[in-house]
């Protein structure tokens, strides 16, 4: 079988249309497209992150000369600052209450608006509306509902003759009120994730389990739920990260009070930086929070190998 000889190219002659030439051209075009984004990332993300790390080692007032303190801010946080410890406890309490409730509510509603429900697309839109509503607006509405002589208090007085607890003025009820507002605001995203995952569950597996005699609960917990584990893991990671950064809910709804009962880490960071003007101290809080989130996220990724099933 004859083999066609390759064309002879004189030395020093450039080949036009070769892969090497195409790659060089693509690189220049890609560089042109990526440069604005890269400059924005350097200016508005990487530089502030590095600057905050540097500032955390200084006593950095808004006006005046910064003073190098080494790990002084971190030592103060973990040894003498009672408000910081309270903020950690409040943040962990919020995470423990909010994340499971958010996952259960969004999963329950996603199962309820299964394909057998008429008008499920309208339910999806309805349930997603709180997620696109500004948090401040939702907080104002909840303030009107939960404040003394508000809608809830007035309704309980009319129906039962007993007033409602002072949800926003009681240290025992303030955090549950913040969690309730957060669940109302945040369950829509996870509902869409779980609803899409439920649509992707192979029906022949569910039907096979039904033929084998599995009831509705067993089909859901033994067949459907394992298939949803990647989506549950995804939603849990994102919800956990966002819950550690809770700020607006407690800032608008309770102002961190009563006392410090709803002061979270991000809120204490805000107070330190923009009310007490201790920018270095606030930067140290930010980096402690960053390390917390990184450690918990890493633990989640390590642990997901035991319960997340990617094979169908």
Question: 211-250, pLDDT tens digit by residue?
Answer: 888 888 898 898 899 999 999 999 999 999 999 999 998 8
Residue 153: both structure tokens together: 């208090």
Q: Quickly state the pLDDT bin for 281 (edges 50, 70, 90).
A: very high
Question: What is the H or E stretch that residue 55 is in?
Answer: helix 47-55
**Inter-CA distances, 165 with 24, 94, 143, 176, 275, Å:** 69, 20, 13, 12, 31
CA distance 116 to 136: 36
- pLDDT surpasses 50 at 130: yes
| Integer CA distances (angstroms), 289 to 109, 147, 253, 284, 292, in order | 32, 31, 22, 9, 5
pLDDT on residue 3: 46
Across the range 248-275, mean pLDDT stands at: 91
Q: Residue holding tokens 């030395």? A: 11
Helix (H), strand (E) at residue 59? strand 58-59
Q: What DSSP string runs through 168-198?
A: TT-TTTHHHHHHHHHHHHHHHHHHHHHHHHH
Rounded CA separation 105/97 (Å): 12
Residue 10 has pLDDT above 60, yes or no: no
Distances (CA, A) of 30 to 17, 23, 36, 41, 152: 18, 10, 11, 16, 58
Q: Give the pLDDT confidence of 93-129 residue by residue, as tens digits.
A: 999 999 999 999 999 999 988 767 788 888 888 999 9
| 201 close to 69: Cβ distance less than 8 angstroms | no
| pLDDT, tens digit, 9 for 90 and up, residues 175-185 | 999 999 999 99
Pairwise CA distance, residues 244 & 259, whole Å: 20
């Amino acid at each position: 079988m004859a083999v066609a000889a390759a064309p002879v190219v004189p030395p020093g002659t450039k080949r036009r249309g070769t892969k090497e030439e195409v790659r060089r051209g693509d690189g220049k075009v890609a560089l042109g497209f990526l440069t604005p984004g890269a400059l924005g990332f350097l200016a508005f993300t990487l530089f502030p992150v590095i600057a905050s790390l540097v500032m955390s080692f200084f006593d950095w007032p808004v006006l005046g000369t910064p003073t190098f303190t080494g790990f002084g801010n971190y030592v103060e946080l973990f040894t003498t600052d009672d408000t910081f410890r309270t903020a950690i406890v409040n943040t962990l309490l919020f995470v423990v209450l909010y994340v499971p409730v958010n996952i259960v509510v969004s999963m329950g509603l996603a199962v309820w608006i299964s394909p057998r429900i008429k008008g499920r697309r309208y339910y999806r839109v309805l349930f997603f509306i709180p997620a696109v509503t500004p948090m401040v607006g939702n907080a104002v509405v909840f303030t009107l509902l939960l404040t003394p002589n508000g809608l809830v208090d007035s309704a309980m007085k009319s129906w039962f003759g007993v007033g409602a607890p002072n949800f926003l003025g009681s240290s025992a009820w303030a955090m549950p009120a913040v969690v309730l507002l957060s669940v109302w605001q945040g369950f829509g995203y996870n509902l869409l994730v779980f609803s899409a995952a439920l649509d992707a569950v192979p029906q022949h597996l569910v039907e096979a389990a039904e033929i084998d005699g599995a009831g509705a609960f067993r089909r859901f917990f033994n067949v459907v739920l394992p298939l949803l584990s990647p989506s549950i893991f995804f939603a849990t990671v994102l919800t956990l990260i966002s819950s550690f950064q809770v700020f607006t809910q407690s800032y608008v709804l309770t102002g961190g009070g009563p006392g410090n009962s709803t002061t979270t880490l991000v809120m204490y960071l805000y107070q330190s930086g923009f009310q007490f003007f201790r920018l270095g101290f606030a930067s140290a809080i930010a980096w402690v929070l960053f390390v917390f989130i990184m450690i918990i996220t890493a633990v989640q990724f390590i642990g997901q190998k035991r319960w997340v099933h990617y094979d169908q």
